[in-house]
Each structure stands twice: as C-alpha cells, then as structure tokens.
Amino acid sequence: MDYRPIPAIFVADAPGLDFLNSIATPVDEPVDWIADGEGLLSWLEQAGLVPIDVLANMRSHIPSVELDEIAAKARGLREWFRTFVQTRKGRPLTAKDLGELEPLNSVLQRDERYGAIVAEANAPSGLAFEMQRRYAAPDSLLMPIVEALSKLVCEEDFTYVKACEGPKCTLLFADHTRGHARRWCSMAICGNRAKVAAHRARLKEGKGR
C-alpha cells in the first residue's frame, strides 16, 4: 500500500470527509496517503490544512519515528470517525449524538489558537483579523484535522452525506448539488465507469435478442 505516486483525492466537498477519503482504492489497489509520517505531512500540505513553513519545520526538526506515531494516531482517528459517519449518514445529527463525539472534544481542549491582525489585500483597510494556530509539538498536526471533523458534524446536514455508489468505491462525499441527486464520488472516476458498464450491458442485451 503506497501513497506517493498518486495525488490525494479531494472530491468530498467537505474537508472532514476528504480526511476519511485519505485511504481509498482509486484503481485496483488500496492507497493510504497517511501510511506514515511523511505521508501525513504530504496529505496535510495537499489539503491546505497546515502552512507549508510549519510542515517544512516538522520535516527538518522532528524525528521520523515521532511523525510516524502521529500518523498512526491520525489513522486511528480516521477509522473511529468513519464508523461514526457510516452509522449516521443519511439522517440529521441531533444533540443525542454529542456523547459519541467526546474524542474530538478531548483533542480540541489542547488546541493553541490565537487571533492576529494580518495583511489582507481584499479588505477595505488592507488589514484583517485572523485565527492562527501554534504548532508547538508534533501532536498539534492533528488539530486542523479534528477541527475539520468538528465543523463537519456541526455545519453539515448528514442527510446529504453519502457513500459513492461505485461497486468497489469507498469514498464519501457531501451532496451539495441542486436536488441532492449526486451518486458518484466523481463523474470522471466512478460515474464514467458506471456509464461504460451500462453501455456494455446494453450492447450485450442487444446481441442477445
């Protein structure tokens, strides 16, 4: 199982679900983009969840064995949250689900976020207030992931959290389409496969007549 030759997949239309999709089967073999520490850093960079300079500092100052341990924690978090989503997708969440989310709150309590005034070209004054995060230890790499998962459960209507209908596909997505008729992770991947399969079935049916 390797992650390096293939860019990570971001088709979920929700960062929290993109994290669950960090393990998938884009062709025939499973690919885990966070199989080790370097994989986690690479995925976080592609997802745009952690500043590039922070990731570069982690690469140069943190032993790979420590980063591998954080990647293992991320994988554990991913599989726990996948179960949470799989058992609740298709229906709205309620306050009754809060008790199952304690693992997220326990991590959020350790977060080191702070406000800062920064330059912003699109702001009328050229300045803007922005929330930033201190990445003081390798564990802090989990914070933007947990934040994305927390925003998913608080801001997304789980009625429209779906699994791709591709027979072998494991990808999840938030259906934000008009009429909520989305069926595939991507029309370029599973949607196209379904069209090809349907076309072949029609040809086979026509020959059998």
Q: Which residue has the tokens 């330059």?
A: 119
Which amino acid is residue 177, in one-letter code?
Answer: T
Domains and their CATH numbers in the chain = 15-89+97-207 (1.10.3300.10)
Cβ(190)–Cβ(176) under 8 Å?
Answer: no
Measured distance CA(140)–CA(50) in Å, rounded: 10
pLDDT in tens, the chain (209 residues): 554 568 999 999 999 999 999 999 877 788 999 999 999 999 999 999 999 999 999 999 999 999 999 999 999 999 999 999 999 999 999 999 999 999 999 999 999 999 999 999 999 999 999 999 999 999 999 999 999 999 999 999 999 999 998 888 889 999 999 999 999 888 777 856 645 544 355 555 556 55
Measured distance CA(101)–CA(87) in Å, rounded: 13
**φ, ψ for residue 166, nearest 5 deg:** -60, 135
Of 90, 96, 77, which Cα lies nearest the Cα of 150?
A: 77
The pLDDT of residue 4: 54
